[in-house]
């Protein structure tokens, strides 16, 4: 699914508008844009983005994830997964949920797991 152009996303922000329809958060840091899965790695609940605390917090069992998707509190055994992301021919960002990347397997280093901006 297409999410818009890179300039549509502010640096150091989490865009939640694709959470309900596509189960993805779009995160832009200083260097890249990536799509995080909204599925908690503990038991599959859906965390919420808490902008004041700059973290994702799972309402089911209290797992907490940083903006990057890295887990730091609660029972979640690993970070959130990232979806494949790239640019379509028209310059818009294209997210492909058929391919996911796991941090613990070193897959976040794969160029398809983030879009350099």
Residue 100's pLDDT is 98
Distance, CA of 83 to CA of 26 (rounded, Å): 10
What pLDDT score does 73 carry?
Answer: 97
Q: How far apart are CA 95 and CA 20, in angstroms?
A: 15
Q: What is the pLDDT of residues 53-102, one digit of tens each?
A: 999 999 999 999 999 999 999 999 999 999 999 999 999 999 999 999 99
The per-residue pLDDT for range 22-43, each reduced to its tens digit, is 999 999 999 999 999 999 999 9
72, 68, 14, 81: which is closest to 41 by C-alpha?
Answer: 81
Joined together, the tokens standing for residue 3 give 């999410």
> What value does the mean pLDDT take over residues 7-23?
97
Residue whose C-alpha is closest to residue 9's, from 114, 101, 97, 109:
114
Beta-bridge partner residues of 59 = none
What is the per-residue pLDDT for 112? Answer: 98
Predicted pLDDT of residue 99? 98
34 neighbors 12 (Cβ within 8 angstroms): no
């Amino acid at each position: 699914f297409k999410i818009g152009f890179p300039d549509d996303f502010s640096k150091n922000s989490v865009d939640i508008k694709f959470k309900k329809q596509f189960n993805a958060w779009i995160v832009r840091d200083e260097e890249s844009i990536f799509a995080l899965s909204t599925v908690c790695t503990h038991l599959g609940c859906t965390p919420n983005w808490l902008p004041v605390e700059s973290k994702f917090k799972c309402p089911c069992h209290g797992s907490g994830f940083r903006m990057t998707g890295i887990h730091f509190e609660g029972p979640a055994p690993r970070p959130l997964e990232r979806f494949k992301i790239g640019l379509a021919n028209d310059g818009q960002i294209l997210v492909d949920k058929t391919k996911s990347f796991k941090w613990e397997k070193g897959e976040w280093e794969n160029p398809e797991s983030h879009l350099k901006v």
